[in-house]
Chains A and B, each alone.
Chain A
Amino acid sequence: MSDNFQVVTQKLRDEAKIWQQRADETQPIVNAVRDAYLSPLAFFVGDPATLGIGVVNADLEAGQYEEFRAFVERMLQSAVTEFGQIDETLRKIADEYERTESLVEVDLDKTFHV
């Protein structure tokens, strides 16, 4: 194994580590979003009925907020998975390079999404 080749795989492993750390840093964000639920009562201290401005409530908007919150939670949870998979893939490629001592062996279709 040439010295030049070792530099490549080490850099790849360093890069993999960045993604693994990123996955670790994303999980607490997912948890924060999960805790961000708000009940329809949380939007207004006012009393539209007594104020005589009809039946105003935040039910619809609270529902939309919850949809948004759930969407962000779902996205970030998939991001955790994806970051972890990028880490794993880069490490596998590094392993493969070291095993075959060749730079041309990675099957792009099997490795990366188009």
Chain B
Amino acid sequence: MPAMPGADFVKARLDRCYDDLENKAVQCADRYNATVDHIFEWRFVLGPALPYVNRAMNNLRANMEKVFQLIRTAVEHHIPVVSLIVQSFKWLEDVQAPVNRLTHQKNHLAQYWKGDAGAAYQDKIPPQNDAIAAIGLKADQVSKWLMDIAKYNVDYMVRLSKLATDFIGAMVGAALEAATVVEIPFAVDALATAIGTLVGDALHNLVDIANRFVEALSKVRDIMSLMSDPKLAQGWPQAVTG
């Protein structure tokens, strides 16, 4: 059996969002700096329009820095979130599946071992099986919980990666660094407005995803209920005096 194809698939989806993410941020910064240089060259000609241009550029810069900050945090959390995906599948494949195989199967021992001791032994089997089933069920739940969280992380990264692509796309499209001095004030304003809308929409979506993530995260209490399960409340059920 290949090692965790499921985990690899989800991890690949997440990793793909990181492709070129930082590179796009660098490109945005380069374009921005080139535009600043360009405006600076024409500063005397621009004259009275300069405060207007500056306001639009500051607006653009604020949005760009916000996106950079989102990218920085996402990059810092990339590897840890991959470990969450890996663990989600481990709870399923390395815990739940083998735990369920521990269940004691019915056999004919009772026919070969009659009497009180044999009966006492048979009585001890169901609590062992119940405890095994309780752990198996929770391993399944914790896996689903982590996968749910992973899913919102992937959604978030898909959106953030789209934002980075749209951002650089808008900057390349505007080609401010090549604009003529007459075009500059209008082009800068149009770009700042477009970027403002782009970032505003993306933030709105990202906040939505973050809120759904928080809700999924809070379901940890369903996982914690195992610790008050009567089948395990006294620890692992004791069958024999060891």
Q: Which residues of A contact B (CB under 8 A)?
A: 7-8, 11-12, 15, 18, 22, 25-26, 28-29, 32-33, 35-36, 38-39, 41-48, 50-53, 56, 58, 61, 64-65, 67-68, 71-72, 74-76, 78-79, 81-82, 84-86, 88-90, 93, 103-104, 106, 108, 110-113
Where chain B touches its partner, the secondary structure class is helix
Q: Is the CB of B226 within 8 A of A76?
A: no
Q: Is the CB of A32 within 8 A of B95?
A: yes
Does B232 sit at the interface, judged by CB under 8 A?
yes
Q: Is the CB of B76 within 8 A of A41?
A: yes
Closest-by-CB residue of A relative to B14 is A45
Q: Is the CB of A29 within 8 A of B203?
A: no
How many A-B contacts at CB < 8 Å in the complex? 194
Closest-by-CB residue of A relative to B82 is A42
Q: Is the CB of A43 within 8 A of B73?
A: no
Q: Is the CB of A67 within 8 A of B104?
A: no
Closest-by-CB residue of B relative to A19 is B104
Does B168 sit at the interface, judged by CB under 8 A?
no
CA distance A29 to B139 in the complex (A): 11
Knowing A18-B104, A46-B156, A50-B69, the reply to whether A111 touches B224 (Cβ < 8 A) is no
Does B206 sit at the interface, judged by CB under 8 A?
yes
Q: Is the CB of B102 within 8 A of A25?
A: yes
CA distance A110 to B120 in the complex (A): 12
Q: Closest Cβ of chain B: how far from A31's Cβ, in Å?
A: 9
Q: Is the CB of A53 within 8 A of B98?
A: no
Q: A50-B70, A52-B207, A82-B237 are in contact. List 16 more A-B contacts (CB 8 A).
A: A15-B109, A22-B102, A29-B98, A29-B99, A38-B84, A42-B81, A44-B217, A47-B74, A51-B70, A56-B214, A67-B227, A79-B132, A82-B239, A89-B242, A112-B117, A112-B241
Contacts of A113 in B (CB 8 A): 124, 238-241
Contacts of A43 in B (CB 8 A): 81, 84, 149, 217
The 30 listed contacts between A and B (C-beta, < 8 Å) are: A38-B83, A41-B77, A44-B81, A44-B152, A44-B210, A45-B157, A46-B206, A46-B209, A47-B73, A51-B210, A53-B207, A53-B210, A56-B210, A64-B224, A67-B224, A72-B95, A72-B135, A75-B131, A79-B102, A82-B242, A85-B239, A85-B240, A86-B124, A89-B240, A103-B115, A104-B115, A106-B116, A112-B117, A112-B123, A112-B124
CA distance A5 to B232 in the complex (A): 37
Q: Is the CB of B66 within 8 A of A86?
A: no
Q: Is the CB of A28 within 8 A of B80?
A: no
Q: Is the CB of A47 within 8 A of B218?
A: no
In the A-B complex, list the 6 residue pairs whose CB atoms are closest, starting with the nearest.
Answer: A85-B242, A47-B73, A78-B236, A42-B80, A106-B117, A32-B94
Q: Closest Cβ of chain B: how far from A64's Cβ, in Å?
A: 5
B224 touches which of A29, A44, A68, A79 (Cβ 8 Å): A68
Knowing A25-B98, A39-B80, A67-B227, the reply to whether A61 touches B242 (Cβ < 8 A) is no
Q: Is the CB of A51 within 8 A of B157?
A: no
